[in-house]
Chains A and B, each alone.
Chain A
Amino acid sequence: MDTLEVKKTLLDINGIVLAISIVGLIILFSYSSRYFFALMNFRVILETMSVLAILAIGAHFLLVGGEIDISFVSVLELSAMVVALSSPGNTFYIILVALLAAIAVGIVNGFFTTKVGIPSFLVTLATMVGVRGIVFLISNYRSVLLRNDLVPQIFYGRFLGGISSAVFWMLGAIVVSAIILKYTRFGRWTYGTGGNERAARLMGIPTDRVKFTLFIISAIMAGIAGLILASRSLAARPRMGDGYLMPAIAAPILGGALLSGGRGSVIRTTLGCLVLTIIINGVNLLGLEPAYRETFMGSILVGSLSIRALQQKGGKIPFKEAVKVFKRWKFFGMHNRKIGGEDEKEEKVGDKV
């Protein structure tokens, strides 16, 4: 990435908001829980984040391309279940079968969206439900143990100072995806297709083929995430992907991706994942009910989207105006504090008298 791009990425308003959110959350949770600001906990955060980040990057690809995939939660479950059911077979073979099962769903999504012309939200909603049904059927509604020693080693084994390999899978996904989107023709075509599909097609970009590939990439990412989850718990169970749908879609959006396509950044999507994972971790450490976690996540998402809406409306974030409004806002007690201060001063003067 050249300097201009680094500058552009870092100075992007979404990047700034995410960076401030991360620092703010770290300060907040460090102050609230003495277990938060510890090396061990940061390792836990990275490991927890890995599955979410891989799913979010897959979802991000499709969002940039102007489509959406919500079936990845079921694809994750399918890949986990297939690897567990195929175990203890040949390690390479069972991983391949699990990933091929995931790719098959990606092909179905791609086919019905690009060839039949059904909106991707509806297609992936249908495959999400359908694949979940398949997972129930093949597992007979029960958890299945992963009876292969090598698969957990590959996807969740400890390396380099006890860091889980899932973190390295996540880092690999981030680097490869960032390079693909930024530096390959396919990546540029993805932005073009998402930004203005008609213009992209008229300029010779095979938009259907681009979208088809994006669905397969999303499915592969979900397949890898499923293998990591199965390796982490040494078992696969139906509905083990529950809870990933909202954050995996929210993370790219927090990072500046648009549902209409053409925008998004892998780095900022990763930062979005970090924000959401810190919230999950912090709320858990504080022993709060999961409802707080959801409230936190929802608030951050609404806040981020509001800033972006303001930005799009005015071209720039009206910081000066915002500060003026903030100062005038008696609700926050700033005005009262000033009066209070004067009162206090008067009292002191009175005391002296």
Chain B
Amino acid sequence: MISPKSGGPSPKEGRGSGVVLECRNISKNFAHIQALNDVSFKLRKGEILGLVGDNGAGESTLIKINRGVMSPTSGEIYVEGEKKKFNSPRDSIREGIQCVYQESALVEQLTVAENFFIGQEPVKPYAKGLFKFVDYKKMREEANKYLARMGFHLDVMEEIRNFSGGERQAVAVTRALYFTPRILLLDEPTTALSEKAQTRLFTLFQKTKEICPMIFVTHDLDDAIQLCDRIIILKLGGITFESEIKSGLRKEHILQHM
């Protein structure tokens, strides 16, 4: 069982310039198609790394491999210097890796509070720990409190299907941050959002990157330049460009590599 808040290090431990996540020579084949070809990169503490590419460039595949949704054909993943193998999303959650997906990964029939804790429900022991039952009160209170702290005032007892795309994504992002992850994977999380909601989320990501470094997948180069500290361009499953954003980089220059 995964207990909430069991994820990663404290904010203090997250500071510094060390490597949190390293992908070494990752390749992934689907039958005759090579989705990723010998991709290597590092994610450092306190940074947002942008993975930019067109559809089918391989950035989502890379996220899925780091999330444990699929295994690489070859290559290795290191979390804080330790070699890891993710056979399921549960394995990556255990390592403190949280993910926000484009389609939010929410269950329509469940309430905001239930979705907030899905897969990681808090439990309360009964009969001297013989039984452990889901703690609904804590779920409601924590979801309410944390969403409000992030500036989202939603009725946590309402089914998630009754909310807009932006509100759903807000729940998904807040949920990921609640579990104080070591690493946050953002797979096109702002695609369905309005500009206002996107700006709010970007501010949130900037504020929290010191606690948990992030990998931000997007097709939009402007978004990547606005949010990220460093970007990697992927094309046909391989890295074609890598650079720090703050070095007077010109968009036209990056576009040549896409």
Chain A residues within 8 Å of B, Cβ to Cβ:
2, 4, 179, 182-185, 187-189, 191-192, 195-196, 198-206, 262-263
Contact = CB atoms under 8 A, between A and B. Distances in A.
B118 A183 contact: no
B113 to A, nearest CB: 11
B106 interface: yes
Contacts of B67: 202
B114 A188 contact: yes
B5 to A, nearest CB: 15
Contact of A192 (B1, B101, B103, B118): B118
A199 B107 CA distance: 7
A172 to B, nearest CB: 16
B2 interface: yes
B133 interface: yes
A5 to B, nearest CB: 8
A198 B69 CA distance: 10
Nearest to A185: B121
Interface in B97-147: 99, 101, 103-110, 114, 118-121, 123, 132-134, 136-137
A191 B109 contact: yes
A78 B169 CA distance: 49
A204 B2 contact: yes
B121 A203 contact: no
Contacts of A184: 132-134
Given A199-B105, A200-B107, 10 more contacts: A185-B1, A195-B107, A195-B109, A199-B107, A202-B89, A203-B105, A203-B120, A204-B90, A205-B90, A205-B118
B88 interface: yes
A256 B1 CA distance: 31
What is the predominant secondary structure among interface residues of chain B facing chain A? loop
Interface of B: 1-2, 67, 69, 88-90, 93, 99, 101, 103-110, 114, 118-121, 123, 132-134, 136-137, 157
Contacts of A204: 2, 88-90, 93, 119-120
A196 B114 CA distance: 13
A183 B109 contact: no
Nearest to B93: A204
A49 B66 CA distance: 51
Nearest to B101: A202
Most buried by A among B69, B105, B107: B107
A185 B109 contact: no
Contacts of A205: 90, 118-119
Contact of B157 (A4, A179, A185): A4
A201 B160 CA distance: 18
What is the predominant secondary structure among interface residues of chain A facing chain B? helix
A202 B114 contact: no
B155 to A, nearest CB: 12
A192 B119 contact: yes
A11 to B, nearest CB: 13
B2 A195 contact: no
A83 B119 CA distance: 39
B89 A196 contact: no
B105 A202 contact: yes
B134 A185 contact: yes
Contacts of A206: 88, 90
Nearest to B107: A195
23 contacts: A2-B136, A2-B137, A179-B133, A184-B133, A185-B123, A187-B134, A188-B114, A188-B121, A188-B134, A191-B114, A192-B119, A195-B108, A196-B105, A196-B108, A199-B106, A202-B67, A202-B69, A203-B120, A204-B88, A204-B90, A204-B93, A262-B107, A262-B108
A200 B118 contact: yes
Nearest to A194: B109
Nearest to A258: B109
B30 to A, nearest CB: 17
B134 A203 contact: no
A262 B93 CA distance: 24
The 4 A-B residue pairs with the shortest CB-CB distance, nearest first, are A195-B107, A203-B119, A199-B105, A183-B133
A134 to B, nearest CB: 36
Nearest to B2: A204
Most buried by A among B69, B103, B104, B136: B136
A345 B166 CA distance: 63
